[in-house]
A and B are shown apart, each in its own frame.
Chain A
Amino acid sequence: MVPITLQVNGQEVKAEIAIHERLLDFLRNELKLLGAKEGCGHGECGTCTVIMDGQVVNSCLILAVQAHGANITTIEGLGNTEELHPLQESFIEHGAVQCGYCTPGMILSAKNLLDKNPHPTRKEIQRSISGNLCRCTGYQKIVEAIEAVAEGRKGR
């Protein structure tokens, strides 16, 4: 067991963890942040996406110890029940959510893109979510939802 300290959604977290514990399991099992999901366990599907120090990462590929000292944002860190994040609102409005399993990861990848590049092209949007698989929507409405936020059609 090793001690780690990190920031998760703006709050400091201290924990003792097993050296082999994946960040995904740490978030889900210890912190009960269940928005990140395991779809493949191999860095292929993006359902476990979180933002770590301004980078989109697959939390199934990262050990929790590697997150020591890091600043992590999960889907739970976006918006709240009173007020949704513009991307969350836009996903609902554009019908970009079907089963919803890919949605947290999609939104985080999109957020990270817009944080860095507020006015991306359609291609850039597509590229930013190309590590997030979705089997339901055919991506089109997801891309439209992100575009709408980028173009300021959703209050940002």
Chain B
Amino acid sequence: MSKVTGRARFADDLSFHGMLFASTVYSQHPHARIKKVDMSKAMDIPEVLAVITPDDVPGSNGVMRGFLVLAGEKVKYVGDGVALVVAKSETAARKGRDAVVVDYEPLPPVLSIDDALKSGASLVHEDKEDNIISKSRYQLKKGDLERGFAEADFIVERTYETQFVAHAYIEPEVVIAVPDFNQEFMTIYGSIQNPFSARAAVAAALGWSVGQVKIVQNAVGGTFGGKDECAILNACRAAIASIKTHRPVKLSLSREESMVEGPKRHPYRFNFKVGVKKDGSILAMKSELIAQGGAYNNKAQFTNWRASIHATGPYNIPNIETRVFGVYTNTIYGGAMRGFSSPQCIFAQESLMDEIAQELDMDPLELRRKNALSPGHTLPDGQLLGEGGLPAPLPDIIDNTARKFKYSKPAQPQEGSVKKGIGIACGFRGAGLGAEAGADATGAIVTVQSDGSITIVSGLTDNGQGLKVAFSQIVAEVLGVSLDRIVYPTTDTSIIPDGGPTVASRGVMIGGRAMEKAALEVKKKILVVAGEILQLDPEKLTIENEEIFSPDNPEKRVSYMDVVSRAYATGQMLAALSWFSTGVPEFDYETGQGKSYPTYSWGMVITEVEVDTETGLVKVNRALSTHDVGTAINPAAIKGQVYGGYVMGQGMAVLEDIEQANGFVKSKNFDEYLIPTAMDIPDIDVLIVETGDTYGPFGGKSVGEPGTEMAAASVANAIAQATGRRIRNLPCNLERVFLGYNLTRQGTAR
């Protein structure tokens, strides 16, 4: 409610007594040695109080697998911070930043995947042997690839590429460090996706223990995976500045700074070789995936692992070999972004399916129906589907989605310059972190207060995606109390054990399970107290509408509030800290076989577009997005996530691209980096499928990422259907759609 009245407080809305402002001096080169930093002119500015360089970092300057709080010896991309200017006002801090003179010796930059792999390429990280990101290599092997190719009627080989995409959360990163010198304690307020990772990095940079740092989350203006490395580095800088000046320090990034410094969606290159039979069955698929990691890496080992499991799509392919790795470049870097490599994989995979259908002269829907993973099949990781295994709803999803959309291919050729196209994309998504990080675990605390209100705390954070509502509903439902009783304070790292990051749609699934467990424990305690009052066996009691009674003897009952009063009067605790863990999964990293994820969610998107072939303009008319959600806990919230996710995917398909020239970022603000506006949106319909999967709380699976991951692929396929020409690298922007006007249908627009 405070969000509609303008009274919600985001990090930039906070101020503290004596607060100073800081501004980062960013690198002027994509790759260069730093020879000298001259801060004298900046220090001459009256309001400037300090200029901070790596020498001022009291603890470790390296945090989060090789990121630097401030670069000292060399800069590896244009978003590297070289120094930090601290001043009494934001204006003075920025003036000071511009007055710092840094002397560089430029080095040849590594700008692309090809640059990175060239023999004799300069090294982005000089302490490494090559530009390949260590631990970013994964492979999956299933069946016998060569035999599969030998039995195939023909072979299709294709290459696809995706671009750097910005999260483009409307709130840029803001952090404030507030020191408490009486007890050597630092509180960080900020728009931070993962408070526990932030705490670890800030403590390391200060040389303190994690317990001395507390991260308090405010309302966060969108994150989608992105308010992470960059926000955390800035938190480290602000904390160091506040130690140095003994004052609270705010660091608030401009849009331009956020675009240049922050993480992005990794670009991927996909090389596919597929063996297909004339009847459309796909026998073998070999895929090589290369991720462009950029200057630093904190996530490619995870995004790549996910990609290795999903690269061949939700199809029954008996013989698979997938290899994936990532490279460093002197460019902006890749991080976590909604979907976590899946939008890239699905774009490539589903473009490939359409191209195979075209070779076969088969309807793309039929090809998917023919190869869809179905009961009795095994997943790429070898897990069984159907009886005795995991749910496999894809064949039904394909049929129902096509029926509801009234799918049929527009007749070809079409008259006039405006052409219609319909594009399909199917997907499956491993739920949670899976075997990517060993065990997947998080905690929850449920406390019944003396006034009957119930405080709930999750180790995972609500970043605007609605966890607060979902968690509150779970607890209210378990305890049989009104939703109004639930109080959900923002995450505070000092009151709950580290529950890992809020990523990979873990929110409802893992966080919700922990919450459900804690609520069940509290319920037990409530029933014990009620049993004392009613003189009945607690095991026989139940709670409904805030009344506790035994179904055998419903006359005898006691109210929830009376139980709470008695518990407090007799010194009984109505609280629980519970922990939910998936356990360490059995998984073989050499072959990619095993229990990659405890379950999968399935989906399909169909999109209709209109392409003006004389201008290249793409209008997305309508879309149907179908999702298996296990059990729909909150259908309205599911739709909200899908609408938002779809439009983000649509942006990736036709508009969004961070343009870089020689390592310099050109699209720094929303005038050059275009995202969809209210004028661009199609009519989106959502079809919710319930598979009765028992995995999440009350069987719920998250939909935040599935909602976005198939959209770009469906739009790209629709454009190719409309124009008869395939664009193999995203985005399908005006130029690419238009320039291909005269090319043959096999042409690529590079």
Question: Which A positions have Cβ atoms within 8 angstroms of B?
Answer: 28, 33-42, 44-45, 47, 74-76, 78-79, 81, 84, 88-89, 91-92, 95, 97-104, 107, 125-127, 129-143
Contact = CB atoms under 8 A, between A and B. Distances in A.
Contacts of B255: 39-42, 45
Given A133-B677, A138-B647, A98 B171 contact: no
A125 B10 CA distance: 27
Given A28-B13, A35-B7, A84-B1, 19 more contacts: A34-B9, A36-B6, A37-B13, A40-B670, A42-B670, A76-B6, A92-B4, A95-B639, A98-B465, A98-B466, A99-B220, A99-B221, A101-B10, A103-B4, A126-B679, A126-B681, A131-B677, A136-B222, A137-B643
A98 B168 CA distance: 15
B219 A141 contact: no
B669 interface: yes
B5 A76 contact: yes
A40 B9 CA distance: 18
Nearest to B642: A138
Interface of B: 1, 3-10, 12-13, 167-172, 219-222, 224, 254-255, 463-466, 636-637, 639-640, 642-648, 669-671, 675-679, 681, 684
B411 to A, nearest CB: 29
Contact of A135 (B6, B7, B648, B669): B648
A36 B678 CA distance: 20
A88 B211 CA distance: 41
Nearest to B648: A135
A60 to B, nearest CB: 10
B669 A136 contact: no
A30 to B, nearest CB: 13
A107 B464 CA distance: 18
Contact of A137 (B4, B10, B224, B640): B640
Contact of A39 (B172, B465, B676): B172
B669 A100 contact: no
B170 A39 contact: yes
Contacts of B463: 99
Nearest to B684: A140
A84 B12 CA distance: 25
A132 B678 contact: yes
Contact of A99 (B464, B639, B670, B677): B464
A75 B7 CA distance: 9
B6 A140 contact: no
- The 9 lowest CB-CB distance pairs between A and B, nearest first, are A35-B6, A100-B3, A99-B464, A101-B221, A75-B6, A138-B643, A138-B647, A44-B670, A88-B4
B172 A97 contact: no
B451 to A, nearest CB: 21
Contacts, number: 155
A122 B614 CA distance: 28
B681 A140 contact: yes
A50 to B, nearest CB: 11
Contacts of A127: 678-679
B717 to A, nearest CB: 20
A38 B168 CA distance: 14
Nearest to A145: B4
Contact of B222 (A99, A131, A132): A99
A102 B219 CA distance: 12
A72 B700 CA distance: 46
B5 A79 contact: yes
A98 B704 CA distance: 12
A78 B10 contact: no
Contact of B170 (A78, A101, A139): A101
A75 B669 CA distance: 25
B679 A135 contact: no
19 contacts: A28-B13, A35-B6, A37-B10, A37-B12, A38-B12, A42-B255, A42-B670, A45-B255, A76-B6, A98-B222, A101-B169, A101-B221, A127-B678, A130-B678, A133-B677, A135-B170, A136-B222, A137-B644, A138-B645
A143 B643 CA distance: 12
Contacts of A138: 642-648, 676, 681, 684
Contact of B5 (A39, A45, A81): A81
A87 B170 CA distance: 21
Contacts of B221: 37, 39, 99-101
Contact of A84 (B4, B13, B167, B671): B4
A136 B646 CA distance: 10
Nearest to A140: B643
Contact of B678 (A76, A81, A136, A142): A142
A156 B281 CA distance: 59
B678 A95 contact: no
Contacts of A81: 5
A104 B13 CA distance: 14
A84 B643 CA distance: 26
Contacts of A99: 169-171, 219-222, 463-464
B678 A129 contact: yes
Given A45-B170, A98-B640, A98-B644, A135 B4 contact: no
A93 to B, nearest CB: 10
